[in-house]
Amino acid sequence: MSNASDSEPRPETTEQTETIPIVDLEPPLALPPLPPAEDEWGSVPERTNVDASPFPFARCGTIPAILGVCSLLLLVLCAFFGYHYFQSVPLSEKKLKSLNQWIESFKNKAETFIRVQKILDENTETLKWLQNQNVYLLEALEELKTMQGDRCGHSLNNWVQYRDHCYHQTAEMVSWLNCSDLCVTLNATFLKTERGILMSIMKLLAENHTWLGLSYREEDNKWRWEDGSFPSPELHLPQPSLDFQGKCVYANVHTIGTDNCTRPYSCLCEKAVR
């Protein structure tokens, strides 16, 4: 059997080779297409975008449009506030200048007040000194009045001394004709002469009218004192005339005048110092 198997023809083994196609790794260059013939040109249909928005800015987007509007509004606001700012700057400067002037004025007033207060403090001390001096002078005047009263006689009201005579303005009011008798009751005489002292005595009189020993004399159409002397021009008596019949002269602190001799006034009495 082994011989039989050995006698069988063996199959021929043929070596088969597989062919692998070579692939060109580099693509071929694309050549531009040839232009079509003239008769092949036709109308190109318009492309319509069905999904396009009816608004033109929608193609660019709504966000840039909104940002642009906001920027424009911001620019307008900046311009508005800037305008008002520059308009308010002069007013602010004016108000600041006015405030500075007011502060300066207040400082000046404060300095003036301090100076016045200092002067018042100084004057307060001076016033106290004057008050003390016033008290001293009043006491001295009372002592002087007491001495004058003793020298003029009894210490009576309204007796004053001037040089070597004492003068008294009576409290009782009588007519000019009764003044002589009233002065006699006071151990004095009715003022009968001027002697250049009447203007000084007038400063010592009270406000009410006081008869003087001076009247109109009808017999010689003159103003005369009781001793017969004429009044001085300093009295400024009116020009004598018959219109002054029954007129007598009175005096007070400020003036000298004439009135009917029957009017009741005070009398000015005098007597020599003892």
Instruction: Encode pLDDT of 112-130 as tens digits.
Output: 989 898 888 888 888 888 8
- pLDDT value for 2: 44
Q: Mean pLDDT across the chain, nearest whole number?
A: 75
Is 140 in the same domain as 182? no
**Confidence (pLDDT) at 77:** 84
Q: Which residues pair with 248 in a beta bridge?
A: 215, 259
The confidence band for 148, taking pLDDT boundaries of 50, 70 and 90, is low
Lowest mean pLDDT among 34-38, 71-75, 78-82: 34-38
Same domain, residue pair 173 and 251: yes
Final residue before a domain boundary, out of 152, 187, 214 = 152
User: Based on the domain organization, do 144 and 209 belong to the same domain?
Assistant: no
Q: How sure is the predictor about 253, in pLDDT bands with cuts at 50, 70 and 90?
A: confident
Pair 178, 224 in one domain: yes
Distance from C-alpha of 237 to C-alpha of 256, rounded to nearest angstrom: 8
Q: Is the pLDDT of residue 150 over 80?
A: no
Same-domain check for residues 165 and 141: no
Percentage above 70 pLDDT, the chain: 67
Domain carrying residue 115? 101-152
CATH number reported for the structural domain that contains residue 204 in this entry: 3.10.100.10
Question: Are both 232 and 248 inside the same structural domain?
Answer: yes
Of 117, 137, 152, the last residue of a domain is: 152
Q: What is the pLDDT of residues 85-119, one digit of tens each?
A: 776 667 677 777 888 888 888 888 888 989 898 88
Is residue 221 domain-shared with residue 247, that is, in the same domain? Answer: yes
Give ∠ CA 227-228-229 in degrees, rounded to 5: 95
Claim to verify: residue 177 and residue 228 sit in the same structural domain: yes
With a threshold of 0.75, does the pTM exceed it?
A: no
Q: Is the dihedral of CA 172, 175, 178, 184 positive or negative?
A: positive
pLDDT for 22 beyond 80: no
* Residues 6 or more apart in contact with residue 212 via CB below 8 angstroms: 191, 198, 248, 249, 250, 251, 256, 268
Report the distance separating Cα 59 and Cα 79, nearest Å.
32
Same domain, residue pair 128 and 207:
no
Q: For the chain, what percent of residues have pLDDT higher than 90?
A: 13
The number of folded domains in the chain is 2
Mean per-residue pLDDT for 10-24?
49
Residue 59 lies inside a defined structural domain of this protein: no
pLDDT surpassing 90 at residue 154: no
pLDDT at 82: 76
